[in-house]
Amino acid sequence: MSGHFGAPEAVASLACEVWEALVAREPYYAAKTGRPVERIPRGTLAEAEAVSAAARARLRRLDGIDQGSLSRSERLTARYLATVLREEIEEPDRWWTSFGVAPYTLSAQSLLPELVFRNLPLRSTTDCDRYLSLLDDLTASIGAWQERIRAQAEQRWYIPRPALPGVRATLERLRASFSTSLLPSEDRAAEGTRQRIGLVLQQRIAPAFGRLLEELGTEYEGRAPVTVGLGQFPKGPEAYARWVRYHLSSEADPDHIHAIGLEEVARLRTAMAQLRSSAFGWNGSEADFHTQLRSDSRAKAASPEALEQTYRRHLMRMEALLPALIQQLPRARPTLRRLPPALEVGMTFGYYDPPTAGRDFGIYYYSGYGLEDRLQMNAASLMFHELIPGHHVQLARQFENTRLPDIRRHTLLFSSFTEGWAEYSAGLGEEFDAYSDPYDLYGWLAHQRFAAQRLVVDTGLNWRGWSLSQAREYMAANTLEAAPQIASETIRYSTDLPGQALSYRMGFQKFRALRKEAEQRLGEAFELAAFHEAILSEGSLPPAVLQSSLAEWAALRAAGH
């Protein structure tokens, strides 16, 4: 429908169609919304090309809708869909230029036993057949990873040699984990069913992992480059620019991002030096101060349990401040859990998992690995980022907002919004004196500098030809992280998720800029909690769409509406 009549219905129908297609190919969204998982995607090029073709057709339909008769929320949905569909069109490019077996990209696969298989009934032959069918899909997906590695190698795209040990270790852990976690317990399934499933695990899934690991063996390693970063591969710079656009949901010049990072790191370095002098009485070198911190019990956690208690203490402090910041809190509560051991070694930090249809709380999975070498002075800022008022408040509010179309309620598609809001939320802690302890304030400054150095190192590795040692030296000089975390992070930037780490600081700056615009527009009528409500009430949006949404909100508020 292209005329005024029926435009709202046309947008709503298209939003539903795009959402249903996403649910059909992404087990995460099916499980999250309490729907049965019918299949596990293979991850083949053919699947990526089908997504792209469907997106082109849907975008043509969207462009044919006259948006003049749409409400504000409907216009936001239409612009949201346009961004999603343009990104889906590039799905084949992302297939060719990402390594699907890197530790961070394998995190979704590690969740399959709990997300898909744990709650499947096994009471009938039909139930068993469905379970086995999904295991077939999983086996095929492992085979597709191997096919993708071969296809990329033919284009002279190889997983860099420094990343291979982490890839192999993660695959080995997944193979071992799947052999136990995918076998249902005796109280869930009859012995005959367990035997059938056990045979599949033993005779199909474990060998598929074996073939994949063999593919990544000595011969592959001999051909793999010793250098890292997308820029070294054929058409790699163009690929990196597309990844930057994908993660920021906007056009951005990597050189400009690099320059912003250098400026931000320098500013924060000065702020940290001033705090060392004023609060700690330290006028020596930064490196010596950080060395001293590593023997300071207040700067570290003695155990995972002690770390979790520190996290809880900071959450309680922020909860007391929330009435001044957030007009409406989500019904879902935040909680903490330790990461599965199979993931901890390959991931520097944890991640937040929002509420689902079957779980009325959000979880931050934290890493308890390597605590003897890790400073924890950023514990407060991490909690404000991950839980309140960061990811948990934003994503739980979005999930609970039934006014939004399903695709806007349930998806996490715009990293610059999601991570930008979380970083902006951590910054609210400074404004409201939640970092009154000098250790916490130093940790917040270090947290910001960590995010800022990502702008430098990510673009350095993938765009400007930095070596891995150069990147690690820069990161060691500008973060509190120990060598194992620096090694993990630099591989993440250059191999696992190039460009994604830019979304934190760039998103933070966008939210700060949008707030400044609203303050200038409204003057004394500006209210912080109301501004935050204007953001949270619409869920995550691409930056340009968010900016227009807030401009319209400010205009209405200035007019007294």
Q: How far apart, in whole angstroms, are the C-alpha atoms of residue 305 and residue 535? A: 35
**DSSP 8-state class, residue 361:** E
Task: Tell how strand 351-353 and strand 333-338 pair up.
Answer: unpaired
Q: How far apart, in whole angstroms, are the C-alpha atoms of residue 308 and residue 311? A: 5
**Tens-digit pLDDT profile for residues 182-226:** 999 999 999 999 999 999 999 999 999 999 999 999 999 999 999
Q: What integer pLDDT is reported at residue 3 of this predicted model?
A: 44
Nearest to 81 by CA among 9, 12, 6, 29: 12
Q: What integer pLDDT is reported at residue 4 of this predicted model?
A: 47
What are residue 333's DSSP bridge partners? 361
Mean pLDDT computed over 9-24: 96
Q: How far apart, in whole angstroms, are the C-alpha atoms of residue 511 and residue 80? A: 18
Q: How far apart, in whole angstroms, are the C-alpha atoms of residue 245 and residue 264? A: 21
Fold of 1-97: Methane Monooxygenase Hydroxylase; Chain G, domain 1 (1.20.58)
Helix, strand, coil percent content, the chain, rounded in steps of 5: 70, 5, 30
Count of Cβ atoms closer than 10 Å to residue 438 Cβ: 15
**Tens-digit pLDDT profile for residues 422-455:** 999 999 999 999 999 999 999 999 999 999 999 9
Mean pLDDT computed over 521-536: 96
For 461, 471, 502, the CA distances from 454, given in Å and listed in that order, are 10, 10, 6
Nearest to 51 by CA among 85, 17, 99, 8: 85
Q: What integer pLDDT is reported at residue 31 of this predicted model?
A: 86
Residue 501 has pLDDT above 80, yes or no: yes
Q: How far apart, in whole angstroms, are the C-alpha atoms of residue 352 and residue 337? A: 10
Task: Tell how strand 361-366 and strand 333-338 pair up.
Answer: parallel
Find where tokens 């084949």 sit. 92
DSSP 395-412: HHHHHH-TTS-HHHHH--
> Range with the lowest mean pLDDT among 120-129, 166-175, 348-357, 532-541?
348-357
Q: How far apart, in whole angstroms, are the C-alpha atoms of residue 528 and residue 321? A: 13
Predicted structure pTM score: 0.92
Q: How far apart, in whole angstroms, are the C-alpha atoms of residue 94 and residue 97? A: 5
Percent of the chain with pLDDT over 90: 87
Task: Give 335: exposed, middle or buried? Use CB within 10 Å, 0-12, 13-18, 19+.
Answer: middle
Map out the domains of the chain as residue ranges.
Answer: 1-97, 104-226, 242-507, 518-558
Nearest to 396 by CA among 422, 378, 426: 422
Q: What integer pLDDT is reported at residue 346 of this predicted model?
A: 60
Q: How far apart, in whole angstroms, are the C-alpha atoms of residue 389 and residue 428? A: 9
Residues 6 or more apart whose CB falls under 8 angstroms from that of 86 comprise: 55, 59
Residues 6 or more apart whose CB falls under 8 angstroms from that of 456 comprise: 258, 261, 262, 265, 474, 478
Nearest to 355 by CA among 317, 379, 329, 327: 329
In sign, the C-alpha dihedral spanning 419, 422, 426, 432 is positive
Task: Give 375: exposed, middle or buried? Use CB within 10 Å, 0-12, 13-18, 19+.
Answer: buried
Q: How far apart, in whole angstroms, are the C-alpha atoms of residue 390 and residue 223? A: 43
CA dihedral 6, 397, 379, 102 (to 10 degrees): -40
Residue 318 has pLDDT above 50, yes or no: yes
Q: How far apart, in whole angstroms, are the C-alpha atoms of residue 500 and residue 489? A: 12
Average pLDDT, the chain: 94
How many residues are there in the chain?
A: 561
**DSSP 8-state class, residue 339:** P
Residue 347 has pLDDT above 70, yes or no: no
Q: What integer pLDDT is reported at residue 1 of this predicted model?
A: 42
Nearest to 378 by CA among 456, 279, 447, 292: 447
Count of Cβ atoms closer than 10 Å to residue 329 Cβ: 18
What are residue 353's DSSP bridge partners? 363
Residues 6 or more apart whose CB falls under 8 angstroms from that of 406 comprise: 15, 16, 19, 33
Tokens of 278: 């004023």
Percent of the chain with pLDDT over 70: 98
Q: How far apart, in whole angstroms, are the C-alpha atoms of residue 423 and residue 378? A: 12
Identify residue 475 by its one-letter amino acid code: M
Q: How far apart, in whole angstroms, are the C-alpha atoms of residue 21 and residue 10? A: 17
**Tens-digit pLDDT profile for residues 352-391:** 999 988 889 999 999 888 888 888 999 999 999 999 999 9
Tokens of 559: 């007019």
The verdict on whether omega for the bond into residue 389 sits within 30 degrees of 0, i.e. cis, is: yes
**Tens-digit pLDDT profile for residues 57-90:** 999 999 999 988 899 899 999 999 999 999 999 9
Tokens of 129: 């057949």
Q: What integer pLDDT is reported at residue 309 of this predicted model?
A: 96
- pLDDT band at residue 484 under the 50/70/90 scheme: confident
Q: What integer pLDDT is reported at residue 348 of this predicted model?
A: 63
**Tens-digit pLDDT profile for residues 542-561:** 999 999 999 999 999 998 77
